[in-house]
Amino acid sequence: MYDNKLQAKEIVAALRVVIADFHNRPTYPVRGKGGKTFAFFPTSITDNIPPLQPEMTEAVCLLSQLHISQAGAATLGIGEEDRGAMIISDILRYYGLPRTLARWTPTGAPGEIAVPLLNEYLESGSQVFLNGVQPGDRILLVDDLISTGGTMVALIQAIQKANAEIIEIFTIGEKSENRGREFVLAETGVHVKTLLVTELEKQNGQVFSKVVRCNLGILEPAVFKQVASYFPDGFCQLGSGELRKKFEKLVGSTF
């Protein structure tokens, strides 16, 4: 959870490392369900392109403190094995939690939870499989990225089917054009916290990623102002996306 001894320079340095991984990445066409083509951009965090470096993990874990506030109440950390499994496991290890990854193939083990999985790449009939969750577990759910929200909805449904409680959800990146956070909220009533928000931008006929906003979560106003001063106006915001207004009300300030 948030360490109020973090200095603005530490946060800025970490932000620059993570933003560089998501910003101005070239996209590549990927065929999804129904033959639809998506503009996909790989990163170190999401796809290990280039390989995930220790400095990147350290930066992500430091910044996660600004968003994850309930880790001390969690009994289990959950992520999913596809793409960002390494960074997910690193974050959950950082908080000292036992952890399990939902999988896209079954083990057949007793107690395995299976739920339907639908996202922009998969046709109907796919499933996600979850092991190691006990009734009453309090879950910190972490993912590298939220896009359409389909995978996140499946993870939430699997945890609920196991009669466990989700106390917090955090993702590093959010592809805003696919409105995944809104979809998750509409389908499950659960809020997702995000750090970086990206859009797609065309440059000379090619499409690139663009980081358009950084959510700085729970941060003291004075430190927020120092951090924000290193970036363009409006780029840094308090809160974790939809939680901004709630935080502004708490501190009695608007930025």
The per-residue pLDDT for range 175-205, each reduced to its tens digit, is 998 899 999 999 999 999 999 999 999 998 8
Rounded mean pLDDT, 247-255: 45
Which has more pLDDT, 119 or 165?
165
User: Does 155 have pLDDT greater than 80?
Assistant: yes
pLDDT in tens, 66-116: 999 999 999 999 999 888 999 999 999 999 999 999 998 999 999 999 998
**Count of CB atoms situated within 10 Å of the CB of 98:** 13
Categorize the per-residue pLDDT at 3 as very low, low, confident or very high, splitting at 50, 70 and 90.
low
- 251 confidence band (pLDDT: 50, 70, 90): very low
How far apart CA 130 and CA 115 sit, in angstroms, is: 9
> What's residue 79's pLDDT?
96
- Which residues, other chains included, contact 186 with Cβ-Cβ below 8 Å and sequence gap of 6+? none
Q: What digits encode the pLDDT tens for the residues 130-154? A: 999 999 999 999 999 999 899 999 9
pLDDT surpasses 90 at 228: yes
Q: Are 144 and 46 in contact (CB under 8 A)?
A: yes
Mapped onto helix, strand or coil, the DSSP state of residue 7 is coil
pLDDT tens-digit series, residues 26-78: 999 887 655 677 788 999 999 999 999 999 999 999 999 999 999 999 999 99
Residue 241's pLDDT band, with cuts at 50, 70 and 90, is: confident
Which residues are within 8 A (CB) of 150 and not within 5 positions of it... i.e. 6 or more apart? Answer: 117, 118, 119, 120, 122, 180, 183
Q: Write down the pLDDT at residue 247.
A: 46
DSSP calls for 47-107? H-SSPPPHHHHHHHHHHHTTT---GGG-SEEEEESSSSHHHHHHHHHHTT--EEEEBSS--
Q: Please state, rounded to an integer, the average pLDDT across all residues of the chain.
A: 89
H or E element: which one contains 127?
strand 127-130
For the cut 90, the answer to whether the pLDDT of residue 118 exceeds it is no
Q: Is the pLDDT of residue 244 over 80?
A: no
User: What CA–CA distance (Å, rounded) separates 226 from 12?
Assistant: 9
